[in-house]
Amino acid sequence: MTTAVFILVHGGWHDRSTWDKVTPILDANGFSALTPDLPGAGVNAIAPPSLGLSPFDPVAFSTEPSPSAGITQLERTEAVVKLVEEAVALGGGKVILVGHSAGGMTVSAVAERVPDLLAAIVYIAGFLVPNGMPLLAMLQHETMSSALSPGLFIGDPVAIGATRINPGSTDEAYRSLLKASFYGDVSEAEFAHAASHLHYDESNAGALASSGITSERFGTVPRHYVRTTRDCAVPLAGQDHMIALVDGSIGGKTTTHTLASSHSPFLSQPDQLSKILIEIGTCPHTERSHAEGLGA
């Protein structure tokens, strides 16, 4: 039997290196995995020019318009749709599409576009947002109020055209907040490595684009959610709120899995996260009842 191919979509400010501990485990268990850099991320990221000033000018950094301001959610959606189509064309069978954090918006949009090409969709502490709602509105909901990550934002996102962070900061308090937000349960060395891969700007377009999911298309794809109980970027209460909202509005049931991890289980618990993905990958997905029967 042909195994499904995983496409792993990173979250905001991250890149494809997010998955470096997970892909070898999937490979060892017979699964291929594709890990794209989304438009504006990784090799596609453009740093604010003010970073080249010496000495560093914090005022310039906090006010200059973002070179990534024009990147749209549609660009990201289309990039992943193309990758799904290529994976299917290469004979890999249907695709299991996985999204971390803000990558959940892309996963949802792709599932709405090409539901017949997907065996399942998986959110890892992801933004699973009901139809008509943008990520920003969900982030502002009371269940997200304990999130630490907004404390990282620099400058006025409206003026800059992006939500800016400074992963290269040498300020100890800022770096401590960065670690607590995303990587609370990883070592200092792993945190330093992960932070070195973060980019500075996330276009506002991604946060402002409304989710466009329907029961007729998105709702036909078995969906899973990996809950992260020690998450300080997308709090557990917010995760559960999103699951309940979408299940209530779209219908069907999101199969849940739980890890006692921070926002980055791919770093702190790659074996446990991979085990969940492999279980999803080896389960029949021809009927929703199969997906609902997986252990939560």
Whole-number pLDDT of residue 198? 98
Instruction: Give the least confident one: 5-19, 89-103, 234-248, 267-281.
Output: 89-103
Give me the amino acid identity at 148. Answer: L
Whole-number pLDDT of residue 120? 97
| Phi-psi category of residue 173: left, alpha or beta, with phi > 0 → left and psi -120 to 50 → alpha | alpha
Whole-number pLDDT of residue 206? 87
> Residue 296: pLDDT above 60?
no
Coil vs helix vs strand at 24: helix
**CA distances in angstroms from 151 to 53, 103, 170, 242, listed in the order given:** 24, 20, 16, 22
Whole-number pLDDT of residue 3? 76
Kindly compute the dihedral angle of the four CA atoms of residues 138, 144, 149, 152, in this order, to the nearest 10 degrees. 80
Instruction: Give the least confident one: 126-130, 204-208, 270-274.
Output: 204-208
Q: Tell me the backbone φ, ψ of residue 217, rounded to 5 degrees.
A: -120, -75
Cβ–Cβ under 8 Å, residues 51 and 29? no
pLDDT tens readout for residues 54-83: 999 999 999 999 999 999 999 999 999 999
Within 10 angstroms of residue 295's Cβ, the number of other Cβ atoms is: 8
The full set of domains in the chain, from first to last, is 5-292 (3.40.50.1820)
Whole-number pLDDT of residue 4? 81
Cβ–Cβ under 8 Å, residues 20 and 47? no
Measured between alpha carbons, how far is 18 from 125 in angstroms, rounded to an integer? 14
- Give the percent of the chain with pLDDT over 90: 91
Confidence of residue 283 (pLDDT cuts 50, 70, 90): confident
Whole-number pLDDT of residue 148? 97
**CA distances in angstroms from 200 to 12, 42, 76, 197, 244, listed in the order given:** 10, 10, 17, 10, 32
Whole-number pLDDT of residue 129? 96
pLDDT tens readout for residues 127-182: 999 999 999 999 999 999 999 999 999 999 999 999 999 999 999 999 999 999 99
Whole-number pLDDT of residue 2? 61
